[in-house]
Structure 1
Amino acid sequence: MSTSDRSSVVPVPSDAPRDFHFRYTVQKGHFLQSEDGTDDQTFDFKTQNFGLINRSYDTDIDEEPPQWTRFSNHVRVLEHSKKPNESFKVLFLGRHGQGWHNVAEAKYGTKAWDCYWSVLNGTDDITWSDAHLTTTGESQALDVNKLWTSQLPHGIPAPETYYISPLTRTIQTAELSFANLSLPASRPYKPVIKELLREALGVHTCDRRSTKTEIETAFPHLVFEPDFSEADLLWEAEYREPISARTYRFSMLLDNIFAEDTHVFLSLTSHSGAIGSILEVLGHRAFGLETGGVIPVFVKAERVQGARMVPPKEPSDAPPLCEEPPI
């Protein structure tokens, strides 16, 4: 498929189109990040137990078990007693740690980054094409690892499935976040690469993924979703994915996960823009994440007959490019 052909197609999962989709509802009252009164500019998930609200549930037998254990039991009971067209899941949405593209944008400024630097592979001894983590980014991922380490003995449910964007910085983040944890034997860290979990597509070289062979060589233990292509077929040098297309992409991604994955507690390691779109699809309030940040979301999905409406193709979301870097 040529670039001109691809540009008229909104990306969809590799499986066949479905004649149904899901309506998502955030179950508020469980995580502070879902509450309107929580300030995302000052909130620190690391000191707030991932944001889990200390409360009782009607499923509590007594108040002795840790808060995470009681929450997990509450979720399991809801999932067990669900209606045939319903599904309950808890999504741990993790943003990658600081990457070299973040450093470059901070160095040159967002305006100059968008119109000039972002289309290059790198400069000044910085490479940001399919950007890797900086040492700061690695430290941020290790901070998440410490939080999981401290909470696993207190009942936090380890993810049953680990989904990761195919971009290198997200893979590195997940590797560090979940390395050497005391995970249950039934829930090993077995990361699955999902093509559609990546950042906004096009123009910025930091969002162009490596080939499947290159990814496999660097991370041989990864599992790729079916029909994952060798080359990056979604990224285009002259077309930046508009918000409407990105929202549709993540709607299709979530529909795919909720239709195919019977597990309840899932980890999705992705990007700031991607997580923003996921939150929008779920009906969650906007909530900004720092690099390395994690936000859990408790969601009910209701199956609705009829395919999702494909949005019309819109102009590229990238601003006009500059021939020279702006001063």
Structure 2
Amino acid sequence: MGDTSLVLPEAKSGTHVEYSTVKGYFLQSEDSTDPSKFDFKKSNFGLIDRTYETDDISSKDLDLSSAKDQWQRFARYVRHLNEHAPDDVKFKVIFMGRHGQGWHNVAESKYGTEAWDCHWSLLEGADGITWADANLTDLGEQQAQDAHQLWDSLLAGEENGIPPPETYYVSPLVRAIQTVAITFEKLDLPYQLPFKPIVKELLREAIGVHTCDRRSSATFIRDSYPFLTIEGGFAETDPLWKADLREPDSTRKVRMTMLLDDIFASDENTFISFTSHSGAIGSLLQAVNHRSFGLETGGVIPVFLKAQTVKGDRNTPDPEPSGTPPNCTANPTSTPSL
């Protein structure tokens, strides 16, 4: 995937950060939850209805049966943990959101996954569909709007309801940028916590071969989406995508761990939003020892994370060879039209 020797803020030789998922707080983190039946919109983002050791603080002002107050009590508890944690421990809650349906998703469904992987994904588009750095479909926009409506229903002023993200990070791919804008831009947010999403190169989908995963130029992104902040060192043209090599899963997990190292070292905020992709989210979950949990397009799950600095260098897997486009076993163009 290119050079991964990124020097991170506050990196210290002889130590590394171990990430783990704090279980018992979200349904999606529990082994008993069936991902195929999970609906984040109907389950308060999966937040478990429970008590916390901090509930006795001003509890008379809380409705313990309210979804909004459940979030308020949880947020108080997380901040309490951070205030009393040792210096080598941090807690964060990351809302991991998958973009809404893009035209590449439509194309894969149209042609079938095998033909998509071996032939169609290498093209810029076909049959009236463009999927290179794919845009959202109408359905994808509606899925992002559904997430917006859920946030809107759970927000209730500066100190009530669900805590709004304090930082927004987004993949540089267009479908993720469009999703984060629809989801958050028109919310009534506290003036101290404005919507100012930051583009992170590492927060993208698996890199290489598929043109839908090749990002647009920095100039295009900046001119088309002026509300974005683009991180420092962001190259004008995509430095990571290669037409003939596909990033293997183990490398993507390393990339996501590097992203977490960066954010935990440089961002002191507790409640954070990632708007990204199915593969990237899957690798993020692996990096924090969370159970596998597939998301539909437009899906969102919060994950309660603990980061602890420990002695010793991080063990990383031996590099897998990069994947190449598979050979088609049948004529990939013999498919029905939409």
TM norm structure 2: 0.91
User: After superposition, what is the alpha-carbon deviation per residue over 1:2-38, rounded to whole angstroms, capped at 9, x for unaligned?
Assistant: xxxxx6x453546476533211121111111011111
Tell me the C-alpha RMSD between the 2 structures.
1.7
The answer for the alignment partner of 2:256 in structure 1 is 250
Task: State the distance in 1 between where 2:192 and 2:324 align.
Answer: 44
Tell me the SS of whatever aligns to 2:262. helix
Task: State the distance in 2 between where 1:138 and 1:89 align.
Answer: 28
Task: State the distance in 2 between where 1:128 and 1:244 align.
Answer: 26
Q: Identify the match of residue 45 of structure 2 among 39, 50, 73.
A: 50
* 2:272 aligned with 1:266: yes
1:179 CA displacement: 1.9
The answer for the alignment partner of 2:86 in structure 1 is 83
Equivalences for 1:21-170 in 2 at 5 Å? 21-61=16-56, 62=59, 64-65=61-62, 66-153=69-156, 155-170=161-176
Amino acid at match of 1:240: R
Question: Do 1:119 and 1:205's aligned partners in 2 also have CA atoms closer than 8 Å?
Answer: yes
1:185 CA displacement: 1.1
Question: Do 1:202 and 1:241's aligned partners in 2 also have CA atoms closer than 8 Å?
Answer: yes
1:306 CA displacement: 4.1
TM norm structure 1: 0.94
1:194 CA displacement: 0.3
Tell me the SS of whatever aligns to 1:94. strand
Structure 2, unaligned stretches of length 5 or more?
Answer: 63-68
* 2:299 aligned with 1:293: yes
Task: State the distance in 1 between where 2:239 and 2:317 align.
Answer: 20
Structure 1, unaligned stretches of length 5 or more?
Answer: 1-6
Change (3 A) 1:14 1:218: farther
Question: Do 2:209 and 2:325's aligned partners in 1 also have CA atoms closer than 8 Å?
Answer: no
Among all aligned residue pairs of Structure 1 and Structure 2, give the percentage whose two residues are the same amino acid: 56
Task: State the distance in 1 between where 2:293 and 2:122 align.
Answer: 28
Change (3 A) 1:278 1:325: same
Amino acid at match of 2:215: R
Q: Identify the match of residue 325 of structure 1 among 310, 332, 335.
A: 332
Task: State the distance in 1 between where 2:273 and 2:320 align.
Answer: 31
Task: State the distance in 2 between where 1:35 and 1:64 align.
Answer: 30
Question: Do 1:121 and 1:205's aligned partners in 2 also have CA atoms closer than 8 Å?
Answer: yes
Change (3 A) 1:285 1:162: same
The answer for the alignment partner of 2:65 in structure 1 is none
Change (3 A) 1:123 1:12: farther
The answer for the alignment partner of 2:184 in structure 1 is 178
User: After superposition, what is the alpha-carbon deviation per residue over 1:209-263, rounded to whole angstroms, capped at 9, x for unaligned?
Assistant: 0000010010012111111111100000000001111111011111111111100
Task: State the distance in 2 between where 1:113 and 1:208 align.
Answer: 16
The answer for the alignment partner of 1:3 in structure 2 is none
Task: State the distance in 2 between where 1:196 and 1:280 align.
Answer: 16
The answer for the alignment partner of 1:187 in structure 2 is 193
Task: State the distance in 2 between where 1:74 and 1:213 align.
Answer: 42
Question: Do 1:116 and 1:325's aligned partners in 2 also have CA atoms closer than 8 Å?
Answer: yes
Alignment: residue pair count: 320
Task: State the distance in 2 between where 1:60 and 1:313 align.
Answer: 47
Amino acid at match of 1:162: Y
Question: Do 1:12 and 1:249's aligned partners in 2 also have CA atoms closer than 8 Å?
Answer: no
1:307 CA displacement: 4.4
Task: State the distance in 1 between where 2:247 and 2:32 align.
Answer: 32
Task: State the distance in 1 between where 2:112 and 2:331 align.
Answer: 14
